[in-house]
Amino acid sequence: MEILEQTNESGAQATQHVRLIFALIIMASFLDIIDFSIVQVALPTIRTQFLASYADLQWVIGAYGLTLAGFLMLMGRAGDVYGQKKIFIAGIVLFTIASMAGGLAPSLLILIVFRALQGIGAAMSTVTAFAIFIRIFPEGPQRNKALGVLVAVLSAGFAAGAVAGGALTVAFGWRSVMFVNVPIGIAAALLSQRFLPKTEGWLKNQRLDVPGAITVTLGTILLVFGLTTAATSGFNTLDTIVPLGLSVLVLASFLAIESRSKSPLIPPAFLKRGSVLTANTLALVLTSTVGGVSFIITIYLQNILGYSPLYAGLGTLPSAVIFFLVGGWGASRIMNRLGARRTLLVSTSLATVGIALLTVISAQGSYFLVLPGMIVWTLGASIGFPAVNLAAVAGTKPGEEGLASGVVSTSFRIGFPLGLAVLLTIAGAFDPPAAAGVGSYAALEGVVTGFRYALFAAVLLSLLGLALASRIKDVKPPWQK
C-alpha cells in the first residue's frame, strides 16, 4: 500500500513537468553521446600538443569508456536505494567539473584521469536518466513513442558532435571540446534541481550491497579492458589474458556474494522474470555485431577502396539517416503494431540478411556493392535497438528502475568491445605475410579475406540474436493488468 501511495504521489509530481523532465533526460544522455564523438575528432590535435604515442592517446577514449561501463550497474542500483534525483544531479555535476578540469589539463596523464572521472559522472547521470524515463512513461505506446524521440535526438547528437568537434578544434583548439560541456552541464544541474520531482529511494529498508557493488564494478572494468586490448593485440597475449582471467575470478566472486546477500545488487528473481535475461543477452549480441561490422566497413572503405576519411564518413550517411528516421520515428510504430517479439524477429532477420550481403566485399569492389548490405543491416539494427531496450525493462516494478536501466546499459556497453575483439581477432588470423608487400593486390586480398570470414562470424552471431528474439515474451506482468 505504501509503495502504491508513493507511486501515485511521485507520478502526480512527474506529470506536472513531464515534458521538461523528458528534456532533462535527453540533455543528460546527449552529454554522453556528443562527448564521445566530439572528443574523437580532437584526438590528432591532442596528440600533437602532448607529443603522445597512439597507444597512450587511445586512453583519452578508453578511460572514459572503462569507467562508464564499470559503474553503470552500481549507480543504477544506488539510484533505487538513495533516490534517482540525487544520483542524477551528482553525476551531471561530476561530469561538468571533470570537463572543466580536463580542458585545463597540463598533461596527457591529467587529461586521462579527468576523462575517467567524466565516465563515472556519465554513468551516474545516464543510467538514472533512463530509470527516471521508465518511471515517468508507462509501459506501452507512450513509452515506445518517447523512446523513439530519444533515439532520434541522440542519433542526431552523435553526428552533430563530429561536426562541432571539428569546428571547435579548428577555431579554438582542442580544449574547447571539453569546455563546451560546462554550460550545458550547469544548466542541466540547475534545472534538474528545480523541476525534477523529489524522490527518495524506493527501497526504504534496504542498503546498497557494497561487496557486490565493488566486485561487479571491478569485474566489469577488467572485462571491458581485456576486450578492448584484445581488439588490438588479440586474445593470445598476456595483456589480454591477465585482465580477462582476473575479470572471471572477480565476477565469480560477485556471483558468490550475491547468492549469500540478504539485499543482492541483482536479485535472482529479477533476472528470471519474463524476458529480462533473454532481452539483455540479445542486447549484448546485437551490439557486438554493430561494434565489429561498423569498424570493418569503415576500414574497408578507407584502407581497401582508398576513400578519404571525409568520403568514408559521407558513405555512412545513408545509415545515419536510417537510424534517425527509422530508429527514432518508425521503430515505436512498429513496436505498437507488432509487439516486442515480432519486432525483434524482423530486426534480427534484416540484420542477418544485411550482414550476409556484406560478405561479397573484395579487394576490387566498390561502395555501391556494399551499400545494399549496409542499408538492410542498418534497417534491422535501427529497429532492434529501441525494441530490445523496451523488452529489457518491460514489467519493471517500482524500486527496480535503476536496476533495469543499469543491467541493460551494461549489456550494451560490453557488447561493443566484445564484437570488436572477436571479429578483429578472426580477421587478423588471415593477415597476409610480410613477403606479400604492403599495398600489393595479394596483401589487400588477404586483408579482405580476413574481413570476409569475420563477417561470416557476424552472420552466425546475428542468427543467435534471431534465436534469442524468438524467445522474447509479449506478456504484461500481473501488476499491470
DSSP secondary structure letters along 182-217: HHHHHHHHHHHHHHSPP---S-TT----HHHHHHHH
C-alpha gyration radius of the chain: 22
User: What are the b/e assignments for 209-231, b being 16+ CB within 10 Å?
Assistant: beebbbbbbbbbbbbbbbbbbbb
Q: Do 277 and 393 sit in the same domain of this protein?
A: yes
**Grid cell at residue 351:** 540484420
Residue 411 lies in a domain: yes
Residue 1 lies in a domain: no
Which domain-ending residue is among 205, 222, 250? 205
Backbone angle region of 383, left / alpha / beta, with phi > 0 → left and psi within -120 to 50 → alpha: alpha
Query: How far is Cα 413 from Cα 68, in angstroms, rounded to an integer?
Result: 8
Q: Do 330 and 221 sit in the same domain of this protein?
A: no
For position 11, what pLDDT does the model report?
45
Q: Do 106 and 143 sit in the same domain of this protein?
A: yes
Q: How far is CA 373 from CA 60, 332, 360, 369, 461, in A?
A: 33, 23, 9, 8, 16
Q: Do 173 and 187 sit in the same domain of this protein?
A: yes
Q: Do 248 and 117 sit in the same domain of this protein?
A: no
Residue 2 lies in a domain: no
Residue 3 lies in a domain: no
Residue 239 lies in a domain: yes
* CB 355 within 8 Å of CB 455: yes
For position 205, what pLDDT does the model report?
53
Query: Which of 255, 195, 183, 174 lies closest to 219 in space, CA to CA?
Result: 255
Query: Which of 73, 126, 120 lies closest to 270 in space, CA to CA?
Result: 73
Residue 4 lies in a domain: no
Residue 294 lies in a domain: yes
The contacts of residue 126 (CB under 8 Å, 6+ apart) are 28, 29, 32, 68, 72, 91, 409
DSSP-assigned letter for residue 106: S
Query: How far is Cα 397 from Cα 382, in angstroms, rounded to an integer?
Result: 27
The three-point CA angle 238-242-248 to 5° equals 145
The three-point CA angle 447-449-452 to 5° equals 115
Query: How far is Cα 1 from Cα 247, in angstroms, rounded to an integer?
Result: 42
Q: Do 357 and 383 sit in the same domain of this protein?
A: yes
Query: How far is Cα 218 from Cα 215, in angstroms, rounded to an integer?
Result: 5
Q: Do 60 and 164 sit in the same domain of this protein?
A: yes
Residue 428 lies in a domain: yes
* CB 315 within 8 Å of CB 367: yes
Cell 541483482 belongs to 266
* CB 336 within 8 Å of CB 342: no
Which domain-ending residue is among 156, 176, 205? 205
Amino acid in the structure at residue 248: V
For position 91, what pLDDT does the model report?
94
Query: Which of 473, 296, 402, 442 lies closest to 77 in space, CA to CA?
Result: 402
Q: What count of other Cβ atoms lies within 10 Å of the Cβ of residue 168?
A: 20
* CB 69 within 8 Å of CB 400: no
The contacts of residue 368 (CB under 8 Å, 6+ apart) are none
* CB 425 within 8 Å of CB 227: no
User: Does pTM top 0.85 for this prediction?
Assistant: no
For position 100, what pLDDT does the model report?
94
Identify the helix (H) or strand (E) that includes residue 289: helix 276-299
Q: What is the CATH number of the domain that holds 186?
A: 1.20.1250.20
For position 80, what pLDDT does the model report?
82
Q: Do 330 and 456 sit in the same domain of this protein?
A: yes
Q: How many structural domains does the chain have?
A: 3
Domain carrying residue 64:
13-205
Q: Do 339 and 411 sit in the same domain of this protein?
A: yes
Alpha helix segments (H runs only) across 209-275? 210-233, 238-260, 268-272
Q: Do 394 and 290 sit in the same domain of this protein?
A: yes
Query: How far is Cα 89 from Cα 77, in angstroms, rounded to an integer?
Result: 15
* CB 319 within 8 Å of CB 470: no
Instruction: Print pLDDT tens along the chain (481 aa).
Output: 333 344 444 444 444 577 788 888 888 877 777 776 677 667 778 888 888 776 677 788 778 888 888 888 888 888 888 888 889 999 999 999 999 999 999 999 999 999 999 999 999 998 888 888 888 887 778 788 888 778 777 766 666 666 666 677 777 888 888 888 899 889 989 988 888 877 665 555 567 777 888 898 899 889 988 888 887 777 888 888 999 999 999 999 988 888 888 778 787 777 777 778 898 999 999 988 987 888 888 788 877 888 776 677 677 778 878 877 887 777 778 888 888 889 999 999 999 999 999 999 888 888 899 999 999 999 998 898 888 888 888 777 777 778 888 888 888 888 888 888 888 888 877 765 544 444 566 667 778 888 899 999 999 999 999 999 999 886 554 434 4
Q: How far is CA 254 from CA 250, 251, 257, 273, in A?
A: 6, 5, 5, 21
Length of the chain: 481
Q: Do 235 and 326 sit in the same domain of this protein?
A: no
Query: How far is Cα 385 from Cα 55, in angstroms, rounded to an integer?
Result: 32
